[in-house]
Amino acid sequence: MIELASLTKRYGDKTAVDDLTFTVRPGIVTGFLGPNGAGKSTTMRMILGLDHPTAGRVRIDGKRYEQLKDPLTYIGALLDAKAVHGGRSAFNHLLCLAQSNGIPQARVAEVLDTVGLTAVARKKAKGFSLGMGQRLGIAGALLGDPRILMFDEPVNGLDPEGIHWIRNLMKSLAAQGRTVFVSSHLMSEMALTADHLVVIGQGRLLADTSMADFIRTNSRSYVRVRSPQRERLLDVLHGAGITVVETGAGALEVEGGKAEPIGELAAQNGIVLHELSIQQASLEEAFMQLTAESVEYHAHADSPPVPLAWGSGWDKGA
Amino acid sequence: MSTHQPPLQQAAPAAPEWQAAPGGSYPGYVSPIPVVRTHLGHAITSEWTKIRSVRSTIWTLGVFVLLVIGIGLLAGAVVSNSASSPDDLSGSNALSLGFFGLLLGSMCIITLGVLTTASEYGTGMIRTTMVACPSRARVLAAKAIVFFAVAFVITLAASAFVAMTQVSMLNDVARTPTGGEWLKGTVGVSLYIALLGLLSLIIGSIIRHSAGAITIMIGAVLAPLVIALFMFSSSLEKVRNALFEYSIPNQLSVFYSNSLSDSGPSGWDPLWIILGVTAVAFAGAYALLEKRDV
């Protein structure tokens, strides 16, 4: 169990983490979601005692991180795949971690096997791909067989097989009664793994809810209708007591409705339909709406300037 | 994307089914791995694995041994060929020929010392290290102990080998060193070089940048001597002498009783000086380590 209370971190006048209060509970996978630069990694570093909070506190099963005498057997963390000395072999990297926590050396071979790196155990870490580095980081997190696991963007750089593996790994770790806390900026990824969801944006808590609740609230279905006889269709639908919303592209949307009654109504009234389809708003859209105001870095939606034809500026004279 | 979303409802922070068990007990998974209460010994074992498992250790120490032994033997050979009587060496003993190799070799020890701490910041390994061992004092102490032991043992072996070879090569032309001179010329210089390396390790921890820390340390070794060389003005005489006397190369030569000047540190003084500087730097590095974010 990880408990955060009014956790705040400021760098100069920039607030990276702003008064965060939430609890990560055992037995489930808790997803930690936010756009890039939302403060997820800073929060995780504070949980691990790497960064000092400006205000507030973090407790791991009631203790401060510094009070843990054998931290790796308590909490295992994958921070970023590159937190490794490239000149050291995977085996020696894990061995020095095991030794610092009095973990038997046999565990090194075990976790290398778990993450599938046994074949490259004696190879230097700098030759590893991003996915292999990620697996080595996960091996380090699992080394002490800890009751709490924290993964910062674990699927980054993994191939589909690796993503599938890490999903199942996290679920099985949680099923054993462990606390699993995993950060991501991908809602779709979280929807498949997390049981509980903590969403932050610009360091502030935006949502702390169970995944089921989040889906129930946010997965919205509607029927989209397009017709050349738009005005008539509107009259008919209004007449039948169906609420219609007009959208920009000449289409009509009927909230939560079924497609069949609309099609039948159109047929009875001889209205031509060009489209009649059921649409599902994705969780990704719900997440983007939730964090829209707090996105730190965003690209401009409008199209890039059209390049002028070659030589078109010549007559203007330089 | 649709244009009309219902406002997102933020659920109450704690849904009842996830409420913690009362009474401050923390349920969850219990590992079959025995829990060990870790101490400094664990950190030292870990740091030993780290220092022996990277190529830079082998390289720096290999070059160090080559320089010390190579230059030492070369100096011995040159002197034994050209000198014919004890007068040519103005009464000094053969041990002092070890100075040149050690002065050059100290650059390798400085590099290794800096890399022991600063490379962890360069690679990001420091975060892994500090997560595994949250006591920052323990991490710094373990690194210091392991590095100092390695540097001392290697320097002692190399300098003792060179000393014995040189003494036997110059048996007829040089004065036989006394027991005290033997001690200073082997154990003394080895302690001094290892402390110089330890100071580099501490500077590496403070600067957190390999190239920067190495530059500072090499500057600290060479700059005073070079600056003093160009102080011609007689009004700067005192400053110049102090720079000469307390420059690291001159302090190193004190161990061979052939200092550049008659005043200044003598006997075992250089060892006490660097011990004091290193202790102060260690305290500073520790304070910074506790205060800063990793």
Q: What is the pLDDT of residues A32-73, one digit of tens each?
A: 999 888 999 999 999 999 999 999 999 999 999 998 888 999
Is residue B101, in this structure, part of any structural domain at all? yes
B5, A285: Cβ pair inside 8 Å? yes
- Amino acid at site A317: G
Rounded to a whole number of angstroms, the distance from the CA of B31 to the nearest CA of chain A is: 6
Is residue B126, in this structure, part of any structural domain at all? yes
Residue whose pair of structure tokens reads 């002092």 in the numeric block:
B96
The answer to whether A71 touches B139, Cβ cutoff 8 Å, is no
Is residue B6, in this structure, part of any structural domain at all? no
Q: How far is CA A209 from the centre of its chain?
A: 14
Interface probe, candidates A63, A99, A110, A173, chain B, greatest B C-beta count within 10 A = A99
Closest by CA position to A65, among listed A91, A95, A43, A39 = A43
Average pLDDT over residues B187-210: 97
For A52-91, the DSSP string reads --SEEEEEETTB-GGG-SSGGGTEEEE--TT-S-TTSBHH
| pLDDT for residue A309 | 55
Sheet holding A251-255, edge to edge: A245-246, A251-255, A221-226, A275-280
Rounded to a whole number of angstroms, the distance from the CA of B46 to the nearest CA of chain A is: 4
Rounded Cα distance, B259 and B249, in Å: 9
Number of domains in chain B: 1
B5, A72: Cβ pair inside 8 Å? no
Give the tokens for residue B125.
């390994």
Is residue B237, in this structure, part of any structural domain at all? yes
Q: Residues 6 or more apart from B149 whose CB is under 8 A from it?
A: none
| pLDDT for residue B57 | 95
Searching chain A, which residue's CA lies closest to the CA of residue B50?
Answer: A96
Confidence tier at A314 by pLDDT (50, 70, 90) = low
Confidence tier at B84 by pLDDT (50, 70, 90) = low
- Amino acid at site A223: V
The answer to whether B199 touches B281, Cβ cutoff 8 Å, is yes
Residue A308 has pLDDT above 70, yes or no: no
Least CB–CB distance from A100: residue in B20, B46, B126: B46
Helix (H) or strand (E) holding A167: helix A160-175
| pLDDT for residue A250 | 77
Measured from the Cβ of residue B130, the count of other Cβ atoms closer than 10 Å reads 22
Rounded to a whole number of angstroms, the distance from the CA of A317 to the nearest CA of chain B is: 45
Q: Residues 6 or more apart from A203 whose CB is under 8 A from it?
A: A9, A15, A16, A17, A18, A20, A38, A39, A42
Residue B109 has pLDDT above 70, yes or no: yes
Tens-place pLDDT, residues A187-222: 888 888 999 999 999 999 999 999 888 887 777 778
Closest by CA position to A90, among listed A130, A120, A134 = A120
Rounded to a whole number of angstroms, the distance from the CA of B57 to the nearest CA of chain A is: 11
Q: A26 to each of A68, A173, B27, B149, how far by Cα in Å? A: 18, 10, 7, 44
Q: Residues 6 or more apart from A192 whose CB is under 8 A from it?
A: A167
A83, B125: Cβ pair inside 8 Å? yes
Is residue B64, in this structure, part of any structural domain at all? yes
Cβ contacts of A218 on chain B, cutoff 8 Å = 8
Range of the domain at B93: 40-291
ipTM of the prediction: 0.85
Q: Number of Cβ pairs closer than 8 Å across A and B?
A: 189
Q: B207 to each of A83, B32, B60, B215, how far by Cα in Å? A: 19, 41, 20, 11
Cβ contacts of A223 on chain B, cutoff 8 Å = none
Coil, helix or strand for A209?
strand
Is residue B17, in this structure, part of any structural domain at all? no
Residue A289 has pLDDT above 80, yes or no: no
Is residue B154, in this structure, part of any structural domain at all? yes
Cβ contacts of B123 on chain A, cutoff 8 Å = 82-86
Is residue B21, in this structure, part of any structural domain at all? no
DSSP H helical ranges for B53-172? 55-82, 99-123, 125-132, 136-169
